[in-house]
Every structure is written in C-alpha cells, then in structure tokens.
Amino acid sequence: GENVEQHPSTLSVQEGDSAVIKCTYSDSASNYFPWYKQELGKGPQLIIDIRSNVGEKKDQRIAVTLNKTAKHFSLHITETQPEDSAVYFCAASRGAAGNKLTFGGGTRVLVKP
C-alpha cells in the first residue's frame, strides 16, 4: 500500500518568512495530492490540492509543487501570519472517488509574531 513520509515534524518561522513542508510517497499510481490544515480541536480542512498532470499550483500565499519522477511534493507558504499556525498534513491517493487518502505524519507550524 501507499506510504507517505512528511518532514519536518515541527517548523517554527518568524512572521513574514516562508514555510516549506516536504512529503514523499511510495505508490507510483497515486495521482491526487491534497494538503490539509488542522487547528487545535478541529477537523482537517483542505487548503490546496494538486493532481499528477500539473507540476505546480498556487492559491494566494500557498503553493504546492509536485515531482512525479522523484515521488515528492511540497507545500510552500509565503508571508506567513500568526493564523497560519496549525498542523499541516499531506496526503496521497489514486484520485478516483472511493480511493482512500494516505496521510503523512503532520507538521506542526508555529509562526512567531
């Protein structure tokens, strides 16, 4: 089955700096890669996703890159703000409805004002 590794496990950045989180996956058939943000006591919320036919996707301060050959993908948050502090999870699946997501272990991001 799929295995997703995520690094780092914790990340502390100064407000305004960039944050980068990296994930690798093992299943070459995976083609859907979402990122979730989880705030304390809440459920994960989808913040951005990317499919294997695209190498990069951007949404305001958030961008995701995908390297299918190397089987890794990354989340980039620019101009970080205190409200970006949360746990971020990457995930991978084969993309069709019904295919389960396999999650990375999570990255706790702390943005220091």
**Could you say whether residue 113 binds other proteins (CB under 8 A)?**
no
Size of the site for other proteins (CB under 8 A): 26
Indicate the residue type of 110: L
CA–CA–CA angle 109, 47, 12 (5° rounding): 10
Question: Residue 83 and residue 9: Cα distance in Å, rounded?
Answer: 19
Binding other proteins (rule: CB under 8 A), the pick from 84, 89, 109, 111 is 89
Binding other proteins (rule: CB under 8 A), the pick from 21, 48, 66, 101 is 101
**Could you say whether residue 98 binds other proteins (CB under 8 A)?**
yes
For residue 92, what are its two tokens? 């991978």
**Could you say whether residue 35 binds other proteins (CB under 8 A)?**
no
Site for other proteins in 36-75 (CB under 8 A): 36, 42-46, 49
CB distance 102 to 19 below 8 Å:
no
**Could you say whether residue 24 binds other proteins (CB under 8 A)?**
no
User: How many Cα atoms are found within 13 Å in the side-chain-facing hemisphere of 107?
Assistant: 27
Q: Could you list the residues that contact other proteins (CB under 8 A)?
A: 1, 6, 32, 34, 36, 42-46, 49, 89, 93-106
